[in-house]
Amino acid sequence: MQREYKKHGFFFFVPSDGRNRELWCLKPGESEINCGCRVLEVSKKEIRTTEGAKKVVLSGIIADYGAKIPFVSWDEREELAMDKVVQIESAYVKKWKGLAALYIGKNTSVIEKDVEFPARTELMKPKKRTIEEIVGCEGAFDVIVEGDIVSVSRNEEKNKRVLVLDDGTGAVFLELREKEVDILFGTPVKARGNVVQSEIGYVLIAEKVKIMDGAVMIKEMKNFLCRCT
Give the mean pLDDT of 57-73.
97
pLDDT on residue 3: 37
Q: pLDDT confidence of 83, banded at 50, 70, 90? A: very high
In the chain, the number of structural domains is 2
Q: pLDDT confidence of 39, banded at 50, 70, 90? A: very high
Query: Considering 103, 123, 143, which residue would you say is the last residue of a domain?
Result: 123
Note whether 220 and 144 are same-domain residues: yes
Determine phi and psi for 133, rounding to 5 degrees. Answer: -65, -45
79 in helix, strand or coil? coil
Q: Is the separation of the CB atoms in 210 and 174 below 8 Å?
A: no
168: containing domain? 127-228
Dihedral over alpha carbons 193, 41, 4, 131 (to 10 degrees): -10
Global confidence as pTM: 0.82
CATH number of the domain where residue 11 is located = 2.40.50.140
